[in-house]
Amino acid sequence: MSLRYALLAILRVGPLSGYDLQKQFSQSVGHVWHAPDSQIYPELRKMEAAGLVEGEEQARGERGTRRVYHVTDAGDRAYLEWMQSPLDYQRVRDPAHLRAAYLENTTPDAARAFLRAHIAEWEGELEQWEGELVRIDALGNPMLVRRLAVTPEEDRERTIAYKRFAYEGLVERARGEIAWARRGLALVDRLNP
Amino acid sequence: MSLRYALLAILRVGPLSGYDLQKQFSQSVGHVWHAPDSQIYPELRKMEAAGLVEGEEQARGERGTRRVYHVTDAGDRAYLEWMQSPLDYQRVRDPAHLRAAYLENTTPDAARAFLRAHIAEWEGELEQWEGELVRIDALGNPMLVRRLAVTPEEDRERTIAYKRFAYEGLVERARGEIAWARRGLALVDRLNP
DNA sequence: GTCCACATGTAATCAGTTACATGATTGA
DNA sequence: TCAATCATGTAACTGATTACATGTGGAC
């Protein structure tokens, strides 16, 4: 259900076509909430059916069309209500820690391969998120720029500060996972001299 | 798909009925991979259909029956293969960090409420996982005891060490989330003097 | 004329959630 | 006899994944 509000958060800044929305999405919220276009288009239609957004068909060249969506009042209210409502936390379901708890069932080499892959995975994420932090500071993120353009001067600091805050949290998590897996590698060595 | 291997990990130690499996599950792997009984029973049936486990109907009192499952050779092989295979990482989908990135869209009070709820959520998890660590050290976990009983002496250290390792990782993650949210609270105060 | 970006979907499947549903056994 | 625990599911639904499917516009 969060996808809906992630999309609203972007559309609230200004109308976008499904295609543009999807691009902005993958460059901003997409770092926190992944969704492929095959999920975004149908979701937009559902949101329209629910009265949260409205799409306007626009001509594009001779025959082409594109559908530009904007948030309705009802959509805006729904978004703000969601921001006020308690988040529903999913129950833990963590395949990496699941496997880690049973590493004695496999070979030292397989254990090492798993831990190295874990490090590689989180280093990839870390790079993305650190990149996002750099872009936030440099105002290099198109979504953020669009956002700040319609934000009153006195609220800009807030906007930037919360973005930084969110990504800092992700960066710390990635570092934590990497450090943990490195300790795991040392543990495998210690247990298999 | 991890549920299947989480169940195999427990059943490999020795046969259990669906009911007992579910109890052991919730007291051990359940801390890392949640699953309700309504998911476990059908999954066992599917695993049986796939030849990974076999169930034997046992009498229980006059009319009652219970179905006791054990892992087949194919199940054992499938488990060991899974342990050797690369883990498939899910794409990020983190509602808390999603909301954090847009906290400027709501009131300071709602932002604080969100962050406090985040802290409470992770303190709950932390307590569970720290409890698990204590039980591991005290050999107070029934699943682990059952496990160690069928583990050769020289592998016990391994078994315990990897359990500790997995739960330590979770504990650190929880502490990280709590620290992050506390910094968030300070940020809200700073931005709204 | 061909390639890349623009533009928008459908269909099948899967994993997980919630709610519903039922009944037997054991011990106080 | 009553409650707790043992014991096992089904059904409807939701959110997400994967694969498939189709066509236009503009630049080189």
Q: Listing from the earlier edge strand, what are the strands of the sheet with A64-71?
A: A16-17, A64-71, A53-60
Task: Please determine, for residue A62, whether its predicted confidence score (pLDDT) is greater than 80.
Answer: no
DSSP A60: E
State pLDDT tens for residues B33-47.
999 999 999 999 999
Q: Going by C-beta distance under 8 Å and a sequence separation of 6 or more, which residues neighbour residue B159?
A: A104, B144, B147, B148, B151
Question: What is the per-residue pLDDT across B158-186, written as a single tens digit (0 to 9) for each?
Answer: 999 999 999 999 999 999 999 999 999 99
Return d(Cα B163, Cα B138) in angstroms, integer. Answer: 13
pLDDT, tens only, A25-45: 999 999 999 999 999 999 999
Confidence of residue A141 (pLDDT cuts 50, 70, 90): confident
Residue A77: pLDDT over 80: yes
Nucleotides of D under 7 A from a protein CB: 6-11, 14-20, 23-26
Task: Please answer whether residues B29 and B6 qualify as being in contact, where contact means their C-beta atoms are separated by less than 8 angstroms.
Answer: yes
Please give the structure tokens belonging to residue A118.
């874990």
Q: Check: CB of residue A105 under 8 Å from CB of residue B76.
A: no
- Looking at the predicted structure, is the pLDDT value of residue B151 above 90? no
The class level of CATH for B2-84 reads mainly alpha
Q: What's the pLDDT score for residue B71?
A: 98
pLDDT of residue A153: 84
Nearest residue to B39 (alpha-carbon basis) of B9, B80, B85, B2: B2
> Which residues are within 7 Å of strand C by their Cβ atom?
A 17-20, 22-23, 37-38, 41-42, 44-45, 60, 64-67, 90-91, 93; B 1-3, 34-36, 38-39, 60-64
Question: Beta-strand (E) ranges in B98-148?
Answer: none
Average of per-residue pLDDT across A124-134: 95
Name the residue with higher pLDDT: A18 or B142: A18
- Average pLDDT value for residue range B144-166: 91
Neighbours of A174 (CB within 10 A): 20
Helices (H), ranges, chain A: 2-11, 18-27, 37-49, 73-84, 95-100, 108-137, 142-149, 153-191
Q: Is A77 on the interface with B (CB under 8 A)?
A: no
pLDDT value for B59: 85
pLDDT of B140 over the 90 cut: no
- As given in the structure block, the two tokens for residue A67 are 């559908």
Q: With cut-offs at 50, 70 and 90, classify the pLDDT of residue A120.
A: very high
What is the average pLDDT across A163-178?
98
Q: Which helix (H) or strand (E) holds B57?
A: strand B53-60
Q: Does A122 touch chain B (CB under 8 A)?
A: no
The whole-number pLDDT of residue A61 equals 77
Strand partners, B67: B57
Amino acid at A79: Y
Interface of A with B in 92-121 (CB under 8 A): 92-107, 110, 113-114, 117-118, 121
Match 């949640």 to its residue by tokens: B34
